[in-house]
Structure 1
Amino acid sequence: MNKILVLILFYSWSLTSVAQECVVLLHGMARTEHSMDKMSAELSKEGYLVVNYGYPSTSENIDEIATTHVAKAVSECENAAPVNFVTHSLGGIVLRKYLSMTKPETLGRVVMLGPPNQGSEVVDTLKNVPGFKLINGPAGMQLGTDDDSVPNSLGPVAYPVGVIAGSATINPILSQMLPNPDDGKVSVERTKVDGMSDHIVVPVSHPFLMHNPEVIAQVKSFLKAGKFLRDELGR
């Protein structure tokens, strides 16, 4: 009887001691956390503790956002571990900046959607146009392709990163500023970063990456297995 009681108590302790994984969502430029609501809902169904964090993407520079807001988002994971991240666009660069300064001891996997990991020619072309900084803020001004831009000054990643690039566009004007293929904001080539674990291209435009069912399936795959689905989707 005592042995049975011990086994029951041990089994119960084992169940409660298994930490729930956390996923921090970081939206893109001039967006809010609501742009990641669908992703949040889908990952919550998978059992993750999801922190869908909003930050002032158009009023602070990348260093300020990374230092203040990403740290706050990570703190909301509390005891959940590991801490994973899913980012869209600017969110990926903000995260790279944060992780260049500090890394959670329980850092898990990172999925970046349409990140300008090598900057964007759109910024090169438009940054001096009146109104660009007003709309995109100081962080937007830091996303050029020059060697001194924030993305190109961060160096390789040293943690598991999967990058999903879009190859469709709904903005032909901006696409004319970009090497093809592109998603209307970032070229496929410039989404890549040295040290990444996996990279895949989907026929989706930049603003819709975080809502797309195929993209969400790929995010789930990388978070679970550290790789994207290829055989199943023929990519």
Structure 2
Amino acid sequence: MKRALITAITSLALLGCASVQAAPRGCVILLHGLARTDASMLVMEEALEQAGYHVVAASYPSRSGKLSDLASDTLPTARRACAAAAPEADVNVVTHSMGGILTRVWAKAHPEAEWGRVVMLAPPNNGSELVDTFEEVPGFEWFNGPAGTALGTGPDDIPAQLGPVPFSLGVIAGNRSLNAFYSSILPGEDDGKVTVESTKVAGMKAHLTLPVTHTFMMNNPRVIAQTLSFLDSETFVPDLTLGEVLWDALVE
């Protein structure tokens, strides 16, 4: 039943994505966010596979190590899996939240690496003010680990040290929040965890803001459709899709 629902949802997403008309190709690495697992990307995985991509859904213990250690433990293994499955294909990456910073950390340490296209969903590319606010609160570091506590907005935090991205990047930000308290701390538009402005980074090729929340945006058919669009054509098409309309009807 769960598999059937996932297939139905992703089929709706594909209805709104022109990229599936052209034969998509290549391998896509999926990287989840903080305190999540690869299961959080299952709907995205299904959509990518339906579109013809080989998918490597990487999982890493996001609360158990430094960003540099997590990156060096995760990216090489995932890239080797892509190379084995599709030797001549580009290595593309789709990330959620901290997964985007993980990718940037590894890319900076390995400037010789070749990349396909990268889509980041709600990445804290300039950090999050929530970390600045709560990092000294008891229990914050225990819950978020050393990687999560390094995602502040200060000059000594990891995001500020990474520089422009060295790959073709499309960023999708959300501007709806499920947490009014968090949003009162975050300046400007936000998704409940990260501001729209913070998702932007030097060197990105395209940026799109959609009415979605941080936690669940990777399951939204419109986000999935735009992800497929960028992987295929390096562009976003910000029109309302049939998939989004049908999704709204499904969840109401």
What TM-score do the two structures reach when normalised by structure 2?
A: 0.83
SS in structure 2 at match of 1:51: strand
In terms of mean alpha carbon deviation, does 24-33 or 69-78 score higher? 69-78
Higher-Rg structure is 1
SS in structure 2 at match of 1:204: coil
Match of 2:14 in 1: none
1:213-224 to structure 2, matched below 5 A, reads 213-224=221-232
> By how many angstroms is 1:233 displaced?
3.2
Match of 1:57 in 2: 62
Residues 1:183 and 2:191 aligned together: yes
1:100-111 to structure 2, matched below 5 A, reads 100-102=108-110, 105-111=113-119
Q: State whether residues 83 and 104 of structure 1, in contact with CA within 8 Å, keep that contact through their aligned partners in structure 2.
A: no
Amino acid at match of 1:115: P
What TM-score do the two structures reach when normalised by structure 1?
A: 0.88
Match of 2:170 in 1: 162
Match of 1:112 in 2: 120
When residues 188 and 20 of structure 1 are mapped into structure 2, their CA distance, relative to the original with a 3 A threshold, is: closer
Match of 1:9 in 2: none
SS in structure 1 at match of 2:171: strand
Rounded to whole Å, the distance in 1 between the matches of 2:114 and 2:149 is 32
User: What CA deviation, in whole Å up to 9, does each residue of 1:188-207 have, x standing for no partner?
Assistant: 00000001000000000100
1:11-90 to structure 2, matched below 5 A, reads 21-79=26-84, 80=86, 81-90=89-98
In terms of mean alpha carbon deviation, does 192-201 or 172-181 score higher? 172-181
Q: Indicate the percent of aligned positions where both proteins have the same amino acid.
A: 50
> By how many angstroms is 1:148 displaced?
1.5
Q: State whether residues 107 and 166 of structure 2, in contact with CA within 8 Å, keep that contact through their aligned partners in structure 1.
A: no
1:103-142 to structure 2, matched below 5 A, reads 105-142=113-150
Deviating beyond 6 angstroms after TM superposition, the runs of 4 or more aligned structure 1 residues are: none
- Greater relative CO, 1 or 2 (CA 8 Å, sep 6+): 2
SS in structure 1 at match of 2:216: helix
Match of 2:234 in 1: 226
Rounded to whole Å, the distance in 2 between the matches of 1:78 and 1:157 is 22
Length, aligned pairs only? 215
> By how many angstroms is 1:180 displaced?
2.0
Rounded to whole Å, the distance in 2 between the matches of 1:43 and 1:134 is 34
SS in structure 1 at match of 2:208: strand
SS in structure 2 at match of 1:78: helix
